[in-house]
Amino acid sequence: MAAYSVSAADLQPETTELLQRLVRFNTVNPPGNEREAIEHLQAYVADAGFETELLAATPERPNLVATLAGHSADGPTLVFLGHVDTVLAAAADWQHDPWSGDLADGFLWGRGALDMKSQVAAEAVAAVTLARAGWRPVRGALKLVFVSDEETGGAVGARWLTEQHPDRVRCDYLVNEGAASPFELDGQRYYGVCCGEKGIYRFRLTAHGTAGHASMPRLGDNALLKLAPVIEALAPGSSGYDPTPAALALIEALGEDPSDLPAAIASLRARHSALPVIVEPMLAVTLTPTMAGASEKINVIPARAWLKVDTRVPPGLGAEVALARLRERLGAAAAGLEIEFTEQVPGYASPHRSELMDAIERWLAAADPDARAVPVLLPGYSDSSYFRAAFPDLIAYGFFPHRHQTLFESAPLVHNADERIDVRDLGYAASFYAALARELLG
């Protein structure tokens, strides 16, 4: 792998410039309006020799599929995946305008600087640098798939692509967002490799009572009050553990006993107080109340009150486990509640040992010899799940390696004000993508 490396320092200026341009496209979703950003990327990669195609469910929200074919069709297809839409940003809350792409204090600032226009820029620059130099895969093909609409579920993005045009994006290996900001534990540096994403199983809980005039509270039966013990029961805490192989492998790699998860988490907390906040959701169903409603008039005692619960379930598990864990947490507070699912989206995972993992570890051994790669699960969801569902034999990982900006520096900035990335990590990540393409495709 070292023989194929491209200098991070050489790749940093162009990756920085491309990211600045991408940040300056306001692609807040909704509404998205990703067309200009996607067309800019199309022109950039086409100029280096990629065959490009725009596929769109709606004109203003296209998806780019760019292909660099190999000398032989016999071989794997590697996809570098990324989305160009972002969540909203309130400029008044930022030190730098969120669509400025400003360079200050060694960082590039703006919405998407971490999630995930930076990775798109690094993937594109890595691929273009190889193509300009005349490289073509010895076997198989390299594809860049840059999509719209990740932030609201992929209905015109990755989900639509994999359902409506699977042959255009079929692949054997895929690299997407999800992990690789490093963290340290007892002096050892680790890079997470995201092997899967949790499923989404959302509930609506409804309490029933009797309406009445708010001025005479004892004449009614206030349904809203019945939600108080429900919300209290759903305060952050354990719902028991439902681990996957990747999560258990992580616990073991961190030096803990995966056969006793409560003790392992307690030990991790003693070693690093913040780490279990990120690790524990990988091992369990999480149940988080996020929305509530009751009376539509302030002077009417509500006969109904509802609470919505965002539930994330480890890959391979489904609605039965989600419901069982909810009932366990609620206990007696569930009495009289109407419980219904409002959304059921399964999670998916790839094996945590594979040729792709081996390639990542070889690159890391050269780029950061004192560090280790460890499998992780994404507590949230990503477009990788749509690809895994469409192509069951696919190995898909989330890996966007940083060397300078750590996990605990990056994680609080995602979807938050003052999102920014250390510019040195842009070249570092781009050097990985260039090396990975050469390693897997020849």
pLDDT value of position 359: 98
pLDDT at 28 over 80: yes
Q: For residue 5, what pLDDT band results from cuts at 50, 70 and 90?
A: low
Report the alpha-carbon angle 37-39-42, nearest 5.
Answer: 115
- The residue ranges of every structural domain in the chain are 2-185+348-441, 199-242+284-345
φ, ψ of residue 187 in degrees (nearest 5):
85, -5
Q: At what angle do helices 35-46 and 8-23 cross, to 10 degrees?
A: 150
Q: In the CATH scheme, what is the code of domain 199-242+284-345? A: 3.30.70.360
Kindly report the number of other CB atoms within 10 A of residue 232's CB atom. Answer: 10
Q: Do domains 2-185+348-441 and 199-242+284-345 have the same CATH topology?
A: no
In order of 32, 231, 280, 339, 379, the CA distances from 326 in angstroms are: 34, 12, 17, 10, 17
In order of 26, 102, 401, the CA distances from 109 in angstroms are: 14, 5, 18
Stretch among 53-62, 178-187, 236-245, 263-272 having the lowest mean pLDDT:
236-245
Model pTM score: 0.93
φ, ψ of residue 272 in degrees (nearest 5):
-155, 105
Contact 149, 155 (CB under 8 A): yes
Q: For residue 3, what pLDDT band results from cuts at 50, 70 and 90?
A: very low
The answer as to CATH 3.40.630.10 being correct for domain 2-185+348-441 is yes
Taking the alpha carbons of 150, 156, 157, 162 in that order, is the dihedral positive or negative? positive
pLDDT value of position 237: 80
Query: If you average pLDDT over residues 380-385, what whole number do you get?
Result: 93
* Per-residue pLDDT reduced to its tens digit, 126-152: 999 999 999 999 999 999 999 999 999
* Per-residue pLDDT reduced to its tens digit, 167-208: 999 999 999 999 989 999 999 999 999 999 999 999 999 999
* Per-residue pLDDT reduced to its tens digit, 319-348: 999 999 999 999 999 999 999 999 999 999
CA 217 to chain centre: 46
Q: For residue 6, what pLDDT band results from cuts at 50, 70 and 90?
A: confident
* Per-residue pLDDT reduced to its tens digit, 45-71: 999 999 999 999 999 999 999 999 988
φ, ψ of residue 190 in degrees (nearest 5):
-125, 145
Cα–Cα distance, 260 to 63 (Å, whole number): 45
